[in-house]
Structure 1
């Protein structure tokens, strides 16, 4: 039944694309004086699809800089890197920013998006000398489905199971921290639980009834004692991604002894937090990074 529903949802999505819905136009990202932009850099090519990233690089100094990999949300079926803003806090700290695209379900279902996020990470590691990036100071961040992918990209660590499309990388893969904004921690629960998500069902595709597969693309499964520190924020009135997802994530991280901070926005919906609360949460996430020496 879930497979039939998944096929129907995918067909509807493809039909909507076919009728010529226009992509929303966004203003370019504003970056500080001295920074340079490298837009639409190809980080991977898969079956004719090109993974693109926009890089915003600080002035080149003697020491390499930390970098944040930003991943947009949209239920794995919509959204774009061009929609993303809010990099000011990272710019002020001298970070490079890598704002990435990934395959949406209309192009390929799970685990394609995870594979792409990993390839973006490996691209930055392999090109770190040219980009003046400190590979010991790589941070993932994302919201909603982007939060899920940020968690997957970081928590997989040196697990190479989804890296088949990426070039070889010689060093151990480890990120320094993850900023997770109301991301999906257990995709299987979101697809089969009491709050069944059509987006999760569609993204899992043929693997929706495969427990082992669902676990393989669920961040909560990949938490280990040496996992990178995680900062999580979630509104307790989120009508889309259940707040319990972050509660369970925090519990598992704590059980494993992983440094993490969980911020609840009382009455907060799906990222639609009051402006003052948004600023407060951003400040807290930056303080979290500072506590890690990032």
Structure 2
């Protein structure tokens, strides 16, 4: 069976089995130890445990908490308001950078971006790592500010600072903060999107599909504002933690052990409490009202198996919500192909109203994502 035909058949089967899987166990056996690439994640976790990069001089945020002094800088086509505290700071957590289009009036649609870190860093808003892919918030701002988009680089708390669902609370608190300050920064309150790579992709999706669920909203301020978004972009993020080891590549990262990124996020070995772990599965929260989503994943990802994105797409198809899923043949844990310089074979699946269509184009690019956002946000 061909690569594309095999995926199409699997997607249909996953969509049909989704409800039964949520009601019953996954049947995934427990595995011990870390794979070869697990050392990479463990090293990152250890590095974060010893401290983040040095912070700037501090001031007091609006709620009285100590935090770094906000600063304004400029770049190609944008003005950046850095180190804005959207809640009481925890290390470098609860800070964001806001990039606004230079010389434009607004109001600007907003893309809230999270770079991945295996849930281990509280400071990814202006950096990229081997765990996050190649995209940073400043890169997105340089590409999209000329087209009228405001871009946010977001820091959320690391798993060593707070357990799930704190990271979901953080993302929604940032969205509420931005809406509360929309007049000051000329933001369009009705056009918000979340976007992320790897664990940041998980955060982007969780924020998108759990709008209005009380225990996933949090109480970090601006309660009168909505934390909902109108579009989501997920780049190789995890979904169903319980099934990651069932699909992992040979030698790839193991996720069931208590030392795994997902277990650290939950605060226990994920297979020891499947019911609690399923609360962190975005696919379990998808409904017909879920915001449109654009998903991309490589078939050779050793850290997050591409089946995770397949599961999320299937949940959207079952719910009848709109989704686009691009599977990139041979790509690893990266979004480097978004630059448009590659020519890897792709399978592009779309679903609207539960119907799935399949094509082999277009290539996944930053321009393609922006076109999705333009359409989803009604621009």
TM-score, with length taken from structure 1: 0.84
Among candidates 242, 261, 264, match of residue 202 of structure 1: 264
Tell me the distance in 2 between the aligned counterparts of 1:111 and 1:204. Answer: 8
2:141 matches 1:57: no
Deviation at 1:245, TM superposition (A): 0.6
Q: 1:27-38 alignment to 2 at 5 Å?
A: 31-33=75-77, 35-38=78-81
2:132 matches 1:86: no
**Is the 1:207–1:213 Cα contact (8 Å) retained in structure 2?**
no
Match of 2:313 in 1: 250
Tell me the distance in 1 between the aligned counterparts of 2:50 and 2:229. Answer: 41
Deviation at 1:118, TM superposition (A): 1.5
Q: Structure 1: any 5+ residue segments left out of the alignment?
A: none
Residues 38 and 267 (structure 1), Cα distance of their counterparts in 2 relative to 1, 3 Å cut = same
2:318 matches 1:237: no
Match of 2:368 in 1: 284
Residues 242 and 95 (structure 1), Cα distance of their counterparts in 2 relative to 1, 3 Å cut = same
**Larger of the two Rg values belongs to structure:** 2
| SS of residue matched to 2:174 | helix
Tell me the distance in 1 between the aligned counterparts of 2:332 and 2:44. Answer: 25
Tell me the distance in 2 between the aligned counterparts of 1:157 and 1:96. Answer: 22
Tell me the distance in 2 between the aligned counterparts of 1:144 and 1:129. Answer: 32
**Is the 1:177–1:229 Cα contact (8 Å) retained in structure 2?**
yes
Deviation at 1:36, TM superposition (A): 2.3
2:205 matches 1:143: no
Among candidates 122, 137, 150, match of residue 176 of structure 2: 122
2:313 matches 1:269: no
**Is the 2:104–2:148 Cα contact (8 Å) retained in structure 1?**
no
Q: Over residues 162-189 of structure 1, what are the superposed CA-to-partner deviations in whole Å (9 max), with x where a residue is unaligned?
A: 3333214335542110011011111333
Choose 87-96 or 40-49, whichever is displaced more: 40-49
Choose 66-75 or 207-216, whichever is displaced more: 207-216
**Is the 1:52–1:101 Cα contact (8 Å) retained in structure 2?**
yes
